[in-house]
Amino acid sequence: MSLGQFTSRGAAAAFKMSRMFKGLGWAIGINSFLCSIYYNIIIAWILFYFFTSFRSKLQWSDCGNWWNTERCANPETLNYSNSTIFCNSIHYQINCTIPTLPPEEYFDNYVLHRSDSLDNLDLPSARFGIKFYLKPNWNKIRQFDVFADIAIFSVLGYMSFKTGLPIEQVAKAGPGLAFVAYPQALSIMPGGPFWAVIFFFMLLTLGLDTQFGLADVVIAGLLDTFKQLRQHKLFVSISYCIFCYLLALPICAPILMNEYAVNLSLIICGFLEFVVIDYIYGFNNFMEDIRMMLGKRPLEPYWFFTWCISDPIITLVLVFSSIIRFQPPTEGNYEYSAYANMLGWLMVCSSLIFIPCIMVYEFIKAWKVTNSLQYKVIEHMPHYLRMLTYARKPDTEWGPAKNENRYGRYKPKIEQSTSINQSNINDSDNNSTLKFKNMFRTRL
């Protein structure tokens, strides 16, 4: 945030702080673009649930509707002793037909039309869900994605008690928590429709706020790169929103995009941001930029520890952990085909590919510049080191976007050259005057 505030530019232009890492800004922009596409689907689901909540009885509160199957079971009619209805043996792990709750079938069969291929801590046995949430499972701690919300797991404990199934089988990753677990909790609360409206309105505001930020990253990058479009900003913004909307229409698997497009690539970009800002550009230089905005370098020891030590280590561990633990995403029992996973990896590469490509391009430019006669050569420095030194330095356009904010080391070179030219003109005028006087004296 401080980087964008200082440069008054989007990500595509902000990372001109290092010539060789200009592609990092484009990678962030592509990630935001892909996320904007599938986020339209998530917001559409939220809008659907929001408007269907304006009823005296929530549609997902019980079975018996046309979208329900024989596996549908109301939690009120189930108990642990009756769990043999769904299992053919004493142990649920063997030959067990897992029952589904009304919100799950509503989401799968009514909202998505899939084919066959809170305040709830006082619910019965909610403590088992909370215990499952709070009790450490040291084998899971290494996975970094086990942290969720206590309210959700209280509902899962209640659902586990009613169905007689373990929480591991009741809980589902992905949209299941937001569109299954919470709706189930809302359906059994007094005044459920009212709380459903409030809950999905909250999700709607969060989703729109996130979507605005994602869209702004891409739009700002386009305007910073193609400056002739700035006078048509409104048209560019509307066109981009319509374009993302049209791309989102045929998408039926936003979970696939979430797992690939903005998961591993986003973590890699985050790690490279720490490297570029703190080690390539320099932590001290960036703190001086903050001093230009605030007049001081606030909480410098804290930022040094987090930006230069702890956060880079954490993100690097997350990168390797994500690669080592990676498994193809699934939705329930459905496994994506090989071509779908290949498409996912193409989405990962579509953003990260900008980093090495632009880096190679900048290396070629730097090699030519440092090999020219106009470049000031440092004594006894090999050519490849001159090239690397030039490529890691900021671009000539780096700094505050507005000229009135450019002073000190960011003073516009145009003004500097103008002042130099003006002094040269003055010197030339003085020399001409002196020469004319000497000629006049000689003639006399």
Handedness of CA 190, 194, 197, 201 (dihedral sign): negative
List pLDDT tens digits, range 206-234: 999 999 989 999 999 899 888 899 899 99
Q: Residue 328: its pLDDT value, please?
A: 84
Distance between start and end Cα atoms, the chain: 72
The yes-or-no verdict on residue 172 having pLDDT over 80 is: no
Q: Residue 152: its pLDDT value, please?
A: 59
The string of DSSP codes covering 182-197 is HHHHHHTSTTHHHHHH
Map residue 202 onto helix, strand or coil. Answer: helix
Using pLDDT thresholds of 50, 70 and 90, give the confidence band for residue 437: very low
Quote the strand ranges of 19-74, DSSP E: none
The yes-or-no verdict on residue 414 having pLDDT over 60 is: no
pTM of the model: 0.74
Q: Residue 432: its pLDDT value, please?
A: 46
Q: DSSP class of residue 87?
A: B
User: Helices 22-52 and 192-225 meet at what angle, rounded to 10?
Assistant: 150
Determine the residue type at 318. L
The string of DSSP codes covering 99-118 is -B-HHHHIIIIIIS------
Tokens of 132: 């499952």
Residue 206 is assigned to a ligand binding site: yes
- Name residue 100's beta-bridge partners: 72
Q: Do the beta carbons of residue 17 and residue 276 sit within 8 Å?
A: yes
Using pLDDT thresholds of 50, 70 and 90, give the confidence band for residue 201: very high
Q: What is the mean pLDDT of the segment spanning 131-156?
A: 55
d(CA 355, CA 22): 7
Q: What are phi and psi of 432, to 5 degrees?
A: -65, -40
Average pLDDT, rounded, for the chain: 78
List pLDDT tens digits, range 382-396: 888 889 989 999 988
Using pLDDT thresholds of 50, 70 and 90, give the confidence band for residue 85: very low
Percent of residues, the chain, with pLDDT higher than 90: 28
The domains of the chain are located at: 2-38+212-362, 62-187, 412-443
Nearest to 110 by CA among 172, 51, 68, 170: 68
Using pLDDT thresholds of 50, 70 and 90, give the confidence band for residue 165: low
Q: Residue 205: its pLDDT value, please?
A: 93
The string of DSSP codes covering 128-179 is HHHHHHHS--HHHHTTS-----HHHHHHHHHHHHHHT--HHHH--STTHIII
Q: What are phi and psi of 375, to 5 degrees?
A: -80, 130
Residue 344 CA, chain-centre distance (Å), reads 16
* Cβ atoms within 10 Å of 444's Cβ, excluding its own: 5
d(CA 85, CA 119): 30
CA angle 194, 196, 202 (to 5 degrees): 110
Residue 209 is assigned to a ligand binding site: yes
Determine the residue type at 30. I
Give the H or E element holding residue 32: helix 22-52
